Amino acid sequence: MVNVLAGTYWRIWGHPQNGLHCFRHALSTVPEKYKDVVLTNFAGLVYKTGAIDEALFMMKDAIKVDPKDPDSNFFIANIYSAKVINLLTYSFWSLY
């Protein structure tokens, strides 16, 4: 779990590459029952970089680990809404 905290630290202080390395290491070392915590934080970092589809893929895996986690469910709903907004924006601008 220390790697999750380190990844969050690097995300906050503006060094996302360091955060990605920490989250990847955390995924390889964390017990299976806590992978949803790592995946949710990792997806948050990936989402902030604009990779919505990759973040959604990670959140689907997090939901598989713990389908009742409110943070994971809230975040996956936000990702789906971002996808809809992007789709509507693209559709709107493609009309002109």
Whole-angstrom Cα distance, residue 75 to residue 17?
A: 22
Q: Express each pLDDT in 20-36 by its tens digit.
A: 899 999 989 999 999 99
Q: pLDDT class for 11, splitting at 50, 70, 90?
A: confident
Q: Express each pLDDT in 50-82 by its tens digit.
A: 899 999 999 999 999 999 999 999 999 999 999
Sign for the pseudo-dihedral over CA of 42, 45, 46, 47: positive
- Domain of 11, in residue numbers: 2-94
Whole-angstrom Cα distance, residue 74 to residue 59?
A: 10
With H, G, I as helix, E, B as strand and everything else as coil, classify residue 84. helix
CATH of the domain at 31: 1.25.40.10
Number of structural domains found in the chain: 1
